[in-house]
Amino acid sequence: MGPSGSGKSSLLYVLSGLKRPTSGDLSFRGSCYSKMNDKQITELRRKNFGFVFQQPWLLNWQTSLENVMMGAPVIDSSAEELADKCFHRLGIHELRMKQPSQLSGGEKQRVCVARAMMNSPAVIFADEPTASLDQRNGHMVVDLLSEYKEQGTVVIVTHDAAMLSQADRVLVMRDGCPVDWVSPAEAAAGKTYAVSQG
Ligand SMILES: Nc1ncnc2c1ncn2[C@@H]1O[C@H](COP(=O)(O)OP(=O)(O)OP(=O)(O)O)[C@@H](O)[C@H]1O
Ligand SMILES: [Mg+2]
């Protein structure tokens, strides 16, 4: 959490290898990003990370199932089976054959969560995944992401402390720097605001 412009998205992009830092380095399971070329970083990302963007980007000319399958290394029948299981697990099986244009914002975002989970990544990064949703749909998306905690790590950027009740800890950002760790209860009580105001 942190004010607008504090570097939350940048942090997620850098952690997930979507952007390269101008200084410093990162490593995942002992491999330094700085020693990898773009192809290797893409591989790292595809094998280990899932990403949910603020806007539910989906290809409109494909079904939800096809959109989710796109996360697979090879698009074949086993990818379809895996995607199918993902839809079941997330309780959105009825959406699989629909085109994105036939879905609500919340439904689209849940399909994006399925796409991020498709390869059982070690880490899912989500950048304000609930920002364009109402409270009910927002909670639904966060619940799906929270369930993933049993399987891997979930890193969520949000402006809404109410979405963090299931978080283990909250990192507060300010002016491009991480400044404090607080508990979800402290975040809900506005401690991030106090810290960000100095
Ligand atoms: N590639 C870049 N090079 C230089 N500066 C950048 C780059 N990307 C973002 N910035 C700057 O870094 C700062 C942090 O941006 P970032 O998008 O990470 O903020 P944020 O905390 O996600 O904000 P918001 O809540 O509005 O989404 C901003 O001042 C932005 O202009
Ligand atoms: Mg941002």
pTM over the 0.75 mark: yes
Model pLDDT for residues 16-39, shown as the tens digit of each residue? 999 999 999 999 999 999 999 999
Would you say residue 3 lies in a domain? no
Mean pLDDT of 190-194: 67
Mean pLDDT of 37-59: 93
Would you say residue 101 lies in a domain? yes
Does the Cβ of 10 fall within 6 Å of ligand 1? yes
Would you say residue 55 lies in a domain? yes
Model pLDDT for residues 126-183, shown as the tens digit of each residue? 999 988 888 888 888 888 889 898 899 999 999 888 888 889 999 999 999 999 999 9
Backbone φ and ψ for 28, nearest 5 degrees, come out as: -130, 120
Question: Quick check: 59 and 22 in contact, CB under 8 A?
Answer: no
Q: Name the token pair of 62.
A: 């494909």
Mean pLDDT of 52-72: 92
The domain in which residue 170 lies consists of 8-196
Would you say residue 133 lies in a domain? yes
Question: Residue 66's pLDDT is what?
Answer: 94
DSSP H helical segments within 16-104, as ranges? 38-48, 64-69, 77-89
- What is the DSSP code (8-state) at residue 17? T
Out of 1, 9, 156, give the residue to mutate to test ligand 1, the one with the largest number of ligand atoms within 8 Å of its CB: 9
State the distance from the centre of ligand 2 to the C-alpha of 106, rounded, in angstroms. 19
The CATH number linked to 71 is: 3.40.50.300
State the distance from the centre of ligand 1 to the C-alpha of 176, rounded, in angstroms. 8
Would you say residue 164 lies in a domain? yes
3 state SS of 70: coil
Number of domains in the chain: 1
State the distance from the centre of ligand 2 to the C-alpha of 8, rounded, in angstroms. 6
Distances (CA, A) of 27 to 32, 33, 39, 87, 116: 4, 6, 16, 32, 21
